[in-house]
Amino acid sequence: MSEIFHSLVLNKRFDDATLRVLESALVSKDVKSSIEVRSGLRQFLRSESLSVLREISEKSAGEKLLVLEFLVRSFALVGDVESCLALRYEALLLRDLKSATNPWLQVPYTEWLNFAHQSKDSGFYSVAGRACENALVCFKRKCAQDPKTDEVYVTKKSTEDAKADGVLENVQVIEQIKRLKDCAMASASSHSVQAQTADYLKKRLKEKSMDCSSVCKDTKPVASTLFRNGIKKRNLRKLNESRSLSRMTDGS
């Protein structure tokens, strides 16, 4: 099945039928074989997706999105979260870019928000922060286009009428997005600090290792000298003993 999937992708068959072949290829009773097949398919998709993306660079937005959706679903099936989220991000940005002339491509703020949550949960905090920024832009744009919610920036807390309720709800949504962004950015900063700490510790360990090596190198000549001096003293002692014995023999 893996070979069939390879062939279909190489022949640009980016459709549901090809995805079903991929699903079948991933089914295995043998755990070891399943892991090997999944790893092989993951490597193939990573390699092939680069050439596919280059080939569709001149295609229409609709064609690009179809291929991106296929790749996103393929990477999700083989468990490549990083590639899956990266291509989803590309697809969302493309839709947002083309939505000015193609309203049907407009990305709802909820979709950006959902993507931000998934990115944060997967450890891609910086991406989650940017997704929150896009969610905020989309939400404010939606409010500006909707006459019922044009007072989105009003912090009025009264719920005396439906309009006030709408304003309060909008304020809450904005606060929710900002909280998620702050959380993602704090996690990104913490992760950066941890990475810097790890690098510092590695550097210190390396320096200590070099210091130890230097000390060892310095002590080797000293030990060698002591050893040689000991041999000389022993040889000299034996020579003296031999001479003494020789004199005693001559005297007798």
pLDDT digits (tens, 9 = 90+) for 234-248: 667 667 766 766 666
Look at residue 252 in the predicted model and tell me its pLDDT: 56
Is residue 240 situated within a structural domain?
no
Backbone angles phi, psi at 14, to 5 degrees: -95, 75
Domain boundary among 210, 226, 242: 210
56 shares its domain with 129: no
99 shares its domain with 3: yes
Range of the domain at 184: 107-210
Is residue 44 situated within a structural domain?
yes
Domain boundary among 51, 71, 105: 105
Report the C-alpha gap between 84 and 110 in whole angstroms: 19
121 shares its domain with 66: no
Read off the pLDDT of residues 88-145 as tens digits, 9 standing for 90 and up.
Answer: 999 999 999 998 898 899 999 999 999 999 999 998 998 999 999 999 999 988 888 7
Look at residue 161 in the predicted model and tell me its pLDDT: 55
Look at residue 29 in the predicted model and tell me its pLDDT: 66
35 shares its domain with 98: yes
Q: What is the DSSP string of 46-106?
A: HHHHHHHHHHTTTS-HHHHHHHHHHHHHHHHHTT-HHHHHHHHHHHHHHHHHHTTT-GGGP
Amino acid in the structure at residue 135: A
Does the pLDDT at position 227 exceed 90? no
Does the pLDDT at position 17 exceed 50? yes
Does the pLDDT at position 158 exceed 70? no
Look at residue 100 in the predicted model and tell me its pLDDT: 87
In the chain, pLDDT over 70 holds for what percent of residues? Answer: 68
CA-wise closest residue to 19 among 76, 78, 74? 74
112 shares its domain with 92: no
Please state the rounded mean pLDDT for residues 160-179: 76
More confident residue, 133 or 225: 133
Report the C-alpha gap between 156 and 165 in whole angstroms: 9
55 shares its domain with 123: no
Does the pLDDT at position 213 exceed 50? yes
31 shares its domain with 76: yes
17 shares its domain with 90: yes
- DSSP 8-state assignment for residue 168: H
| Cβ atoms within 10 Å of 174's Cβ, excluding its own | 18
Distances (CA, A) of 21 to 7, 25, 82, 247: 11, 6, 22, 102
Does the pLDDT at position 249 exceed 80? no
3 shares its domain with 99: yes
More confident residue, 34 or 235: 34
Give the confidence band of 151 by pLDDT, cuts at 50, 70, 90.
very low
Domain count, the chain: 2
Domain boundary among 86, 105, 124: 105
Is residue 149 situated within a structural domain?
yes
Does the pLDDT at position 31 exceed 60? yes
84 shares its domain with 123: no
